[in-house]
Chains A and B, each alone.
Chain A
Amino acid sequence: DAGVTQSPTHLIKTRGQQVTLRCSPKSGHDTVSWYQQALGQGPQFIFQYYEEEERQRGNFPDRFSGHQFPNYSSELNVNALLLGDSALYLCASRDRGTDTQYFGPGTRLTVL
């Protein structure tokens, strides 16, 4: 059984560009959350998707948007990239039975 998968592994962009990150949840999981982890910090919640809708949102600007597809996979989009957006972006899917979130390996985004 595959765990949470994310693509790409690494990404380099320049300021002002746009980026799309992708996540596939564990089999049987229908809720996907995205987190941003800056270097040396704990992950910060960006938003959560369930039934193709954004259900919760953290303190992130509208430049951060997302989408969930009917197969429960999800995308995170960031527009007008800033240097401060450089971070590890983590996707987590939720096991409804245990209310536990399982994380993918992350996408390392570098903004130059």
Chain B
Amino acid sequence: GNSVTQMEGPVTLSEEAFLTINCTYTATGYPSLFWYVQYPGEGLQLLLKATKADDKGSNKGFEATYRKETTSFHLEKGSVQVSDSAVYFCALNFGNEKLTFGTGTRLTIIP
């Protein structure tokens, strides 16, 4: 079946550091890929998405590129802020089917 493997957390960085959160997937075919973010006590917010190979999703300074050859969708940000502290989830789906999530990576940014 489909699955998503995320970099284990927690991740702690200083403000303005470079961020990478790794995500790889296993799927039959070419799914759409997503990053969702969950702030403390809240639901999930869509951060970015990509629907085909070599697509780059971007939002709020975050980027991720759909790499078919390595089945990866790593999340990056050049300079993190304290307000980026949250849990980040990588996910995949096919069309209107269910989302399959990774276990999440907790990110803490220290001033």
Contacts and interface: CB of A to CB of B under 8 A. Distances in A.
Contacts, number: 59
Contacts of B44: 43, 90, 92, 103
Interface string B81-109: 00000000101010111111111100000
A85 B83 CA distance: 31
B46 A41 contact: no
Given A42-B4, A103-B45, 20 more contacts: A4-B43, A31-B96, A33-B98, A40-B104, A41-B103, A42-B102, A43-B44, A44-B101, A48-B98, A56-B97, A56-B98, A90-B43, A92-B99, A96-B96, A100-B34, A101-B93, A102-B46, A103-B46, A104-B43, A106-B42
Interface of B: 4, 32, 34, 36, 42-46, 49, 51, 89, 91, 93, 95-104
